[in-house]
Every structure is written in structure tokens, then in C-alpha cells.
Structure 1
């Protein structure tokens, strides 16, 4: 079967692998046939060859893991050792080993859920990041009537903006150096600020500080500090971006003097929130078609990741299909 993998920084290789043996599935696992995958911002360090935390990441110049680094997938169940997943059904969710770029893959059934069969796989795969955003918003105070600022208006940040507005936020500010004005209204953004977070902060009206700031950039330390400095009295900061560093310096003086709350965390209850994402998408049928802007054949994965690595106003979510 076909498989793509990163073998050097910014370099994919296609290889052939034997198909997995369905009789070797551990309890709770499922064997999937590849139907679609999507590129996440958290995949980009792997594409660049950065040393990751996966135990198998031992390659000399890249992770060199079969199917790496994709984790957002849609698949057809070929075999199942999980009681909730039946052969022949289509599911969306996590490739639990970050090895989704394969014709067939084994994954943890607790990170997968069925979805609206009316959705094409290239749209359904976007339910996975939507589930992550919905779970994060569950951890926040009620958003109705609040001013919510989202630092980063990439594929995750725009979902946060949309969900915040759908949850009743009175005002949504989106901050990004990439010009997102063309899609701001579509994703519920009232104020599309084209700026880096430090420049936004420098020009922020002290009397109009947001109640909640969501950091949706990650991969560096600065933006979390800007979020903490920007949020208003007794405000909440949610750190969603993936940390590339173990330790982040923050101002405890700002945290203390402004009585702030800082929240972070990975997505739990995955089957439940994937089902919630499916429900949300049914209620907002315009969302996923606007969100998925580029579709590539899987053999064009090199070009797809190169596009994902470039800040581009018209690019939101990139999907790979067979």
C-alpha cells in the first residue's frame, strides 16, 4: 500500500508498505482505509524536521515515521476491535500515532466518531479541528455578551472566532499579520486587526480590553505574554497554540494585579466532542465549505505542505484526498 512520510526537512517521500494485519488489532483499535486528511498547524514543525516528542521520532534529519505527521483524518472502518465502530462505517477524528498519510492505518477508536453521511470526506475531516475548538470553548466562562479576542487567524483561530460569535459573543476581534479581511465577516469577526500581537497590544485602548483572549498561534513564547497583557480585569486567557518550548515566561504581576485566569489543555472526551462538532456543523451548514479552501490529491502532499507553510490570505484549511 502507499505511504508518504517526511524523510528530511521540508521533504516527503512515497514508499510502499505491507497492509496491516487486522487480526493484530489491540482492544479498542480500528483499522481504517484512508478517505481524507487535513493539514494542521501543529504538523508544520514535523514538516520542518524539528525534533518532536513522539517515541519513534529518532530519524537522523527528520522524524522518518511512516505516515507522519498527519493526525486529522477521515477513514472507512475495515476492521474493528472497538465496540462502537462497525466495519463499513466512515469515521472522523485522530490518527493517534500521527501517521495518517497511509492507504490504511490503525488508530485508537476513542479518538474517532461517525459523522453526517451527507458530508463529503474533504469537508468531514474539518470536524476534527472543530471538535478541538468546541472542547476548548467548553472550558471558558460563558461567552454571551463578552468581547473575545483571538490572536492568530489561521485555520484554528478562524474556527475560534466563528464559534465565539455563535456562542453569543458581543464582539470578536481577530488579530493576525495576514490580511483576513475578506473572510472576517464569514467567520464572525467584527474587528479584523492586521497586525502582530505586540503591535495590536501597543495600540489597544485600555478602556476596551477584551474579556477573553484566545491564543491560537503557538510555536513560540511571545504571544502568550501579549494575551495576558491585553486581557481586561478578571479576564480569561486560553492558550491553545502548540508549545514548542517546555517553559514559557509570563508576567505573574499582570496575572496577580488583574486577577486573571489562564487555561490550557489538550482535547479530552474525543468521541463526544466529535459528535458535538458534527451537530454544530449541521446547524451551521455554511461553515465547512467556507473553511476548506484547498484540496490536493495525496500524491501532491509536498505541494500541499509547501502551501501550508506560507502565510496566504486566501488559504484556510488544506485537505488531502485519495
Structure 2
């Protein structure tokens, strides 16, 4: 089968490798023929040269499998040892080994769910990040009538803006250094701030501070401090995503004096939230038309990843067409 291999920073190469076989599946696994994938911010550090740290190997560097790094996947079940999936099912979700840039992948069936197949696979791929956002917002307190800010208005931040608005937030502020005003109304953003988070935070008076702040930038440590500075006393910060650094500096004095709640976490109950994402997207079909802006063929994966690390106005989700 074909697969893409990351040879080094910014460099993919297509190879032929032995295909996984149905008889190799463990209980709970499925064999998936990929049709589409979505490039996530957590994939990009590896593209730029970060080492792959394998959890099963005590966090030491390891050689990833062909098809790495991509975990947002859509495909057809070829074989299954999971009771909820059967051969021929079309599913979306997680490629559990982050190896979805390949013709066939083996994945955990608990991280996959069916979807509305009237959508193209390159559109359906958005259900995976939407599921992550829905689960994260479930962990946040009641936002009805509150001012919330989402720092970072990339593909994840825009979904946070939309979901928080639909959950009843009174005023949604979207903060990004790139102008994201074009589709602000579609994503429920009431106020677009085109500035770095620290400059935005410096402009806030005490009555302007949001009571909930979502950190949706990631991949560096400075914006967490900006969120601490900007949030109202007694407020809540949600740090979303996989950190590049194991240890983040925390302004403990500000954290203490403001009585702030800080949340973070991974997405659990994956099959359930994927189904919830399908229902949510059915209720808000306008998202389908604007969310995925760039589609690249699997043979052009290097160009797709390069676009994802160079965001521009009007660019949101970058997807791969692997059919």
C-alpha cells in the first residue's frame, strides 16, 4: 500500500509498505481504508521537526509508523473486531496511531463513528475537531449571558466561538493576529480583535474582562499568561490542545489573587461526542460551507502541511483528499 513518510523537517516522501491485514486486528480495532484527513495543529510540530515521543516507550524518542503525523481521519471499514463497526461502514474520527496519511490504517474502534454520508469525506473530517470542542465546552461552567473570549481564531478557535455562542454566551470575542472578520458572523463572533493576545489584554479595563477565556493557540507558553492577565476575577480559563512543552510557567500570584479556575484535558467518550458532533453539524449546516477552505491530494501532503503552518486570512481547515 502507499503511505507518506516524514523524512525530516518539512519533507514528505511517498513509499510502498506492507499493508496491515484483517487477521492482525486486536479486539476493539478496525482496519480502515482512508478517504480523507484533516491537518490539526497538534500534527504541525512533527512536520517542523519535533521528535515523536512514544507514550508506550516512557516518552522517549521513537520512529513513528508510515503515515505519520495525521490523526483526523475519514474512511471505510475494511474489517472490524469492534462490535459497533462492520465492513463497509463509513466512519470519521481518530487514527489512534497518528498514521492516517496512508492507504490503510488500523485504529481503535472507540474513536470512530458513522456520519451523514451526503457530505464529502473532506467535509466530514471536520466532525473530529468539532467533537473535541464539544467535549471541552461540556467541562466549562454555564456560559449563558457571559462574555467569553477565544484567543486564537484558527480552525479550533472558530469552532469554540461557534459552540460557546450556541451555548448561550452573551458576547463572544475572537482574538487573533490574522484578520478573521470575514466569516465572524457564521462562527458566532460578536467582536473580532486583530491583534496579539498581549496587546489585546493590555487594552482591557476591569469591566471589559471576559469571565471565560479559551486558549486555542497552543504550541508556545506565552499566551497562557495573556489569558491570566485578561480574564476577570473569579473567571475561568480553558487551555485546549496538546502542549509542546511539558512544563508551562504559571503566574501564580495573578492566578491566586484573581481566584481563577484553570481547566485542561483530553477528549474522552469519543464515539459519543462524534455522534454529538454529527447532530450539531446537522443543526448548523452553514458551518459545512465555510470550515474546510483548502483541500490537497495525498500526493501533495507537503504542500498541505506547509499551508497549515502559514495561516492566512480566509484560510481555516486544511484537509487531505486520499480517496
TM-score band, normalised by shorter chain: over 0.9
Residue 64 (structure 1) shift: 5.3
1:47 aligns with 2:47: yes
Counterpart-to-counterpart distance in 2, 1:242 and 1:177: 21
Structure 1: state its 5+ residue gaps: none
Q: Deviations over 1:98-135 (max 9, x none)?
A: 00001000000011011112221111110000000000
After superposition, where does 1:196-211 map in structure 2 within 5 Å? 196-211=196-211
Residue of structure 2 in register with 1:166 after alignment: 166
TM-score computed with the length of structure 1 as normaliser: 0.96
1:235 aligns with 2:235: yes
Residue of structure 2 in register with 1:257 after alignment: 257
Counterpart-to-counterpart distance in 2, 1:115 and 1:100: 18
| Residues 31 and 107 in structure 1, CA contact (< 8 A), matched pair in contact too | yes
| Residues 52 and 61 in structure 2, CA contact (< 8 A), matched pair in contact too | no
RMSD: 1.3
Does 175-184 or 251-260 show the bigger shift?
Answer: 251-260
1:310 aligns with 2:306: no
Q: Deviations over 1:171-199 (max 9, x none)?
A: 00011101111121221111110111111
Residue 39 (structure 1) shift: 0.4
| Residues 36 and 121 in structure 2, CA contact (< 8 A), matched pair in contact too | yes
Residue of structure 1 in register with 2:14 after alignment: 14
**Structure 1 residues 247 and 58: CA distance shift in structure 2, 3 A:** closer
Three-state SS of the structure 1 residue aligned to 2:182 is helix
Q: Deviations over 1:174-232 (max 9, x none)?
A: 11101111121221111110111111111112211001000001111111111112111
Residue 288 (structure 1) shift: 2.1
| Residues 53 and 61 in structure 2, CA contact (< 8 A), matched pair in contact too | no
Q: Deviations over 1:280-321 (max 9, x none)?
A: 001001112210111111111111111111121111001111
Q: Tell me the matched-pair count.
A: 319
Q: Deviations over 1:227-279 (max 9, x none)?
A: 11211121000000321111111122222211110000000000000010001
Structure 2: state its 5+ residue gaps: none
Residue of structure 2 in register with 1:122 after alignment: 122
Residue of structure 2 in register with 1:29 after alignment: 29
Counterpart-to-counterpart distance in 2, 1:123 and 1:49: 28
Counterpart-to-counterpart distance in 2, 1:103 and 1:250: 43
| Residues 58 and 64 in structure 1, CA contact (< 8 A), matched pair in contact too | no
After superposition, where does 1:58-73 map in structure 2 within 5 Å? 58=61, 65-73=65-73
| Residues 180 and 192 in structure 1, CA contact (< 8 A), matched pair in contact too | yes
Counterpart-to-counterpart distance in 1, 2:155 and 2:262: 22
| Residues 29 and 82 in structure 2, CA contact (< 8 A), matched pair in contact too | yes
Residue of structure 2 in register with 1:113 after alignment: 113
Three-state SS of the structure 2 residue aligned to 1:7 is strand
| Residues 6 and 65 in structure 1, CA contact (< 8 A), matched pair in contact too | no
TM-score computed with the length of structure 2 as normaliser: 0.96
Counterpart-to-counterpart distance in 2, 1:58 and 1:243: 16
